[in-house]
């Protein structure tokens, strides 16, 4: 008979502007968890747009002036971010930073920018201005004032990296949660699939719309509930529609993707949020993902592939 109770080990840390936890079971070499955490911290240090000395900070600082050589990891994320910008026809835009900086959502100011400020930032947000050179692994932004923001993709990449390190270290069962970018590996403490709660976007943290039972999958949510303010009845949140320059008003409150690659799911969830239900479904299914959409009209839309795994909270 299997040993029912496993000894849990849980490590939490702050990075990538969020709270992160890795849960797994003994026996495990502590150094594997340390290596995973250090990798996330390194990704944070290299890819933060807030730090002008990070690799992304330098690309932004030298926009219109010169290209910057970056590490393999940063180049990989930039390549993917540009690819998803193209694929989504700019609904995901790697150069969204002038707009996210303008709106400052979640940074306590709660003011709506003027239309001329939005126009100016919109003229700089254009992924086609990001030039990547594969040969020397360098990146260049064509126009002065252009800026990269990897906030919609870096957590997914970091989660994939944590998974890779744990697996290489012999870990078979773990729950990785980097600020809502989740990877469920193997099985939980009582040898069952992991149960992951899907946050109700209109309720306090920890109140769920439902639960998903998963193994060896990533679960990634983009929601308007984490960072937002409400003014004159409008919910201004942190996912910007690059076509209007304002927080996306697509009828979606949150979208959760379930699939295999966390970086891909991260970019696609942000894009699906911008595109709305119909186009969002088309996009995510094209790349092999399933999804749960929580809509402003209080309805839930769950794709067919999740019907057996998703249990609505009553």
Q: What angle do CA 198, 151, 144 make, to 5 degrees?
A: 155
The reply to whether 151 sits near ligand ADP by the rule CB under 6 A is yes
**If binding is defined by CB under 6 A, does position 93 make contact with ligand ADP?**
yes
250 part of the interface to ligand ADP, by CB under 6 A: no
- DSSP state at residue 59: H
Residue ranges in the chain assigned as alpha helix (H): 30-47, 55-61, 72-87, 97-103, 115-124, 154-168, 262-275, 277-286
Cβ distance to ligand ADP smaller for residue 149 or 290 = 149
CB 111 within 8 A of CB 121: no
Sort residue 137 into left (φ over 0), alpha (ψ -120 to 50) or beta.
left
Task: For residue 65, give the nearest of 6, 8, 138 by alpha carbon.
Answer: 138
238 sits near ligand ADP (criterion: CB under 6 A): yes
Token pair of 272, please? 């699906």
Considering only the stretches 78-86, 122-130, 268-276, 306-314, report the one whose residues sit in contact with Mg ion under the rule CB under 5 A. 268-276
238 is in the binding site of which of Mg ion, ligand ADP, none (Cβ under 5 to 8 A by kind)? Answer: ligand ADP
Q: Taking CB within 5 to 8 Å according to partner kind, which of Mg ion, ligand ADP, none is near residue 74?
A: none
Q: Residue 152, interface with Mg ion (CB under 5 A)?
A: yes
Query: Per-residue x/- mask for ligand ADP, residues 271 to 300, rule CB under 6 A?
Result: ---x--------------------------
Q: Residue 38 corresponds to which tokens in the numbers above? A: 């250090």
Nearer to ligand ADP, 32 or 159 (CB): 159
Should residue 270 be labelled a site residue for ligand ADP when binding is judged by CB under 6 A?
yes
Among 57, 98, 210, 242, binds ligand ADP (CB under 6 A): 242
What is d(CA 34, CA 183) in angstroms, rounded to the nearest whole number?
A: 18
Asked if 253 contacts 294 with a C-beta cutoff of 8 angstroms, the reply is: yes
Q: Is 96 in the site for ligand ADP (CB under 6 A)?
A: yes
Residue number, nearest CB to ligand ADP: 151
Among Mg ion, ligand ADP, none, residue 180 binds (CB under 5-8 Å by kind): ligand ADP
Candidates 4-12, 25-33, 90-98, 195-203: pick the segment binding ligand ADP (CB under 6 A). 90-98
Q: Of 32 and 105, which has the nearer Cβ to Mg ion?
A: 105
Is residue 57 left, alpha or beta, with left meaning phi > 0 and alpha meaning psi from -120 to 50? alpha
Minimum CB separation from ligand ADP for residue 223, in Å? 6
Closest CA relative to residue 23, chosen from 168, 196, 265, 152: 196
Any contact of residue 55 with ligand ADP (CB under 6 A)? no
Q: Token pair 């919910």 is at which residue?
A: 235
Q: Which residue has the tokens 């067919």?
A: 304
Q: How far apart are CA 23 and CA 72, in angstroms?
A: 28
Residue 226 three-state SS: coil
> Which span (6-14, 109-117, 145-153, 245-253) binds Mg ion, by CB under 5 A?
145-153
Nearer to ligand ADP, 126 or 266 (CB): 266
Sign of CA dihedral 9, 261, 50, 72: positive
User: Which residue ranges make up the site for ligand ADP (CB under 6 A)?
Assistant: 92-93, 96, 100, 149, 151-152, 155, 179-180, 222, 226, 238-240, 242, 266, 269-270, 274
User: Which residue ranges make up the site for Mg ion (CB under 5 A)?
Assistant: 152, 266, 269-270
């Amino acid at each position: 008979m299997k040993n029912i109770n496993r000894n849990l080990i849980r490590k939490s840390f702050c990075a990538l502007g969020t709270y992160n936890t890795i849960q797994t079971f003994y026996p495990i070499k502590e150094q594997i968890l340390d290596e995973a955490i250090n990798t996330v911290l390194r990704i944070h240090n290299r890819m933060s747009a807030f730090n002008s000395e990070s690799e992304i900070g330098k690309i932004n600082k030298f926009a219109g002036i010169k290209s910057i050589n970056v590490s393999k990891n940063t180049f990989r994320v930039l390549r993917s971010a540009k690819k998803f910008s193209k694929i989504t026809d700019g609904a995901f835009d790697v150069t969204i930073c002038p707009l996210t900086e303008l709106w400052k959502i979640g940074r306590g100011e709660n003011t709506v920018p003027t239309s001329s400020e939005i126009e100016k930032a919109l003229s700089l947000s254009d992924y086609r201005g990001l030039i990547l050179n594969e040969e020397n692994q360098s990146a260049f932004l064509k126009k002065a004032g252009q800026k990269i923001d990897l906030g919609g993709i870096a957590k997914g990449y970091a989660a994939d990296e944590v998974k890779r390190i744990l697996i290489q270290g012999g870990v078979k069962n773990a729950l990785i949660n980097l600020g809502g970018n989740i990877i469920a590996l193997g099985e939980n403490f009582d040898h069952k699939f992991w149960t992951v709660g899907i946050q109700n976007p209109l309720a306090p943290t920890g109140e769920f719309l439902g639960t998903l039972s998963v193994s060896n999958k990533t679960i990634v949510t983009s929601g308007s509930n984490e960072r937002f303010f409400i003014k004159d009845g409008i919910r201004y949140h942190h996912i910007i529609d690059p076509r209007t320059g304002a927080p996306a008003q697509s009828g979606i409150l949150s979208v959760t993707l379930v699939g295999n690659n966390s970086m891909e799911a991260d970019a696609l969830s942000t894009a699906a949020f911008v595109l709305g239900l119909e186009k969002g479904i088309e996009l995510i299914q094209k790349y092999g993902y399933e999804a749960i959409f929580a809509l402003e009209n209080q309805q839930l839309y769950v794709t067919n592939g999740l019907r057996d795994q998703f249990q609505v909270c009553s």
